[in-house]
Structure 1
């Protein structure tokens, strides 16, 4: 993620992010999630997945889910991202 994009996230100040820059190349940055952050993501993931299922997928028919999957694959392909 570019430093400017990271700095745009809530609770991040540009000056705080700029100190995380790559010393060999000022255009890049190294970002790593801390163990506490990873643990927080792992705790939140099951509830998040249940909420997404309830709000999105439970409202769709099986055919609509197939079409949505096709749309997402097409958009990812267009953006140059892998389909997996």
Structure 2
């Protein structure tokens, strides 16, 4: 990913999440929770990405302590270019090695884990 598209795993994770949400932006604290990252880790990563034009920070008009992070046009282009390769890699390295029954079981386990995470916040 890094050599071909200039994106680290963390870059890809952030861009993928931002491009999934309506409007392409999230509040910093909510984003850190969504990723399961400490706020300082997210802040450092976003600073590096902002310098490269992939994301931007937007001050929250109604809460001076809050800020949003938003994907830029350049960030959207980067994730759009890298996503097909990422999907191919996941399929080649992971999915293609599982039987249909294992994939079904994996989906059931993932659903259970996600339900538990949602229930506990």
TM-score scaled by structure 2?
Answer: 0.52
TM-score scaled by structure 1?
Answer: 0.72
21 and 6 in structure 1: CA distance in 2 versus 1, 3 angstrom threshold: farther
Unaligned runs of 5+ in 2: 1-30, 33-37, 50-56
Unaligned runs of 5+ in 1: 13-18
The two structures, once aligned, show a CA RMSD in angstroms of 2.6
Give the length in aligned residue pairs. 75
- Pick one of 1, 22, 47 that aligns with 2:60: 22
CA distance in 1, matches of 2:45, 2:92: 26
Residue 43 of structure 1 is matched in structure 2 by 81
User: Which one has a larger percent helix, Structure 1 or Structure 2?
Assistant: 2
Structure 1 or 2, whichever has the larger Rg, is 1
Runs of 4+ aligned structure 1 residues displaced above 6 Å come to none
Relative contact order, CA 8 A, sep 6+: which one is greater?
A: 2
